[in-house]
Structure 1
């Protein structure tokens, strides 16, 4: 990640961390979106393949956040986790996920949460594209979800408290990478 992003300014003010993370991870986000677009979710095979793709990244990230102790940093974390819903839907149980991810700092975990919460927004759009959103409980659960604005406030607070945008960008990069590495 480019440390120049830590100094991004808008109108003489410090840029909001969500904009810094979006700019710093734009290429990775695009790569994940391109990979996800390969699946035709209008048919059962395509939806199943998409859910397996999501499982690889989500399982690596959620496991790493749990190992770091995310619940003590972000008390809402247990309610935000979605891996169990995904595993129930695709009946994977304890199947291994993608590559291992490790977060080295609290700032990295906030970067990873930015990616996960953003994927929930993407899931809302995808669910609306399905012929019948209820065919995927994992995606349907995102339709009425309103976590994003609350999360952005907490992300901004963490940014002010930690003053480690490079760490946040690194964590976001690791999280996107979990979706791109088999």
Structure 2
């Protein structure tokens, strides 16, 4: 079984729960969209910071700067990042799988962003061949690393999903605050 299939299968429940959680944000509403971006920033910043210092960066284009630009355009500074203990190399590949995969969903979500609201972060799609190139590099790293490495990559992907889920608790959609 490919590592991509293992990752997708092992994290399917995490992915579904996170999608349902983020679906509570009305991206056409400026306040809800701001909270959505702040939640993403709380999780994305520490994950990308960890990836930046790893061997999982081949072909990688970070999106945290785009997210910070979108927040600045909304008059909001980036929120403090959630804490993240330094993951090992395999876990970082799993985390990168999550953030690279979120580009695919981001392209769909960008269509829901309200008129006049910045959408550089959600609109940052993969360049032609970039997703395939990442998946090929991921598979090669998984093959070289063996079963324990693959298990740690899966744990890293799950950890990324959980970090994003935790970020929402800090930035509830405005209609959910009471």
**Contact (CA 8 Å) 2:43, 2:163: kept in 1 or not?**
yes
Does residue 90 (structure 1) correspond to residue 82 (structure 2)? The answer is no
Alignment of 1:19-168 (within 5 A): 19-66=5-52, 69-70=53-54, 72-77=55-60, 80-91=61-72, 95-103=79-87, 105-130=88-113, 132=115, 135-142=118-125, 145-146=127-128, 147-163=130-146, 164-168=149-153
Bigger RCO (CA 8 Å, 6+ sep) = 2
Runs of 4+ in 1 over 4 A off after TM superposition: 131-134
What is the TM-score of this pair, normalised by structure 2?
0.81
**Is the contact made by 2:38 and 2:78 (CA closer than 8 Å) also made in structure 1?**
no
Matched-pair contact (CA < 8 Å) for 2:51–2:57? no
Specify whether residues 137 and 85 from structure 1 end up closer, same or farther in structure 2 by C-alpha distance, changes over 3 A only: same
Unaligned segments of structure 2, at least 5 residues: 168-178
Specify whether residues 136 and 95 from structure 1 end up closer, same or farther in structure 2 by C-alpha distance, changes over 3 A only.
same
Q: Distance in 1 between matches of 2:154 and 2:116?
A: 33
Secondary structure of 1:140's counterpart equals coil
- Which of 155, 164, 167 aligns to 1:179? It is 164
Give the deviation of 1:178 after TM superposition: 1.0
Question: What is the distance in 1 between the residues matched to 2:17 and 2:135?
Answer: 23
**Structure 1 unaligned residues grouped into runs of 5+:** 1-14
**CA gap 1:156/1:167 in 2 versus in 1, 3 angstroms:** same
Task: Report how far residue 166 of structure 1 moved.
Answer: 0.5
3-state secondary structure, aligned to 2:96:
helix
